[in-house]
Amino acid sequence: MKTSHLVKIILLTIPAITLLYVFLLRDRIEGGTGIGGGSYDLTKTFTAIAIGLYLLVLNLFLLIQNAQANKFFLLGGGVMLMITVIIAVRTF
């Protein structure tokens, strides 16, 4: 496996791990308040927005770099972006 493929896989798994932690594991592990300090936790909202922007920029970068060679990475990034949008809509 080439080093560039390994880097791209790592760049695609970072948002997946973050989404898993924030939306599935964080509430079970710690019960404290998140960003905002009030009764409404804004951590999920900010995380969904940040990961959505990150994936959008990453997909644009992969598209500009070489779309034919990065087609599987673009597919994975597109699926992750759709999952992030669905989670964000359910959170709001």
d(CA 54, CA 61): 11
pTM: 0.80
CA 41, 48, 81: angle at the middle one, nearest 5? 160
The confidence band for 10, taking pLDDT boundaries of 50, 70 and 90, is very high
CB neighbours (10 Å) of residue 62? Answer: 21
Q: Which residues, 6+ apart, have CB-to-CB distance to 33 below 8 Å? A: 41
Looking at residue 65, its amino acid is Q
Q: What percentage of the chain reaches a pLDDT higher than 70?
A: 88
d(CA 33, CA 30): 9
Q: What percentage of the chain reaches a pLDDT higher than 90?
A: 45
Contact 11, 58 (CB under 8 A): yes
Which helix H or strand E contains 81, and what residues bound it? Answer: helix 71-91
Listed by start position, the domains of the chain span: 3-91
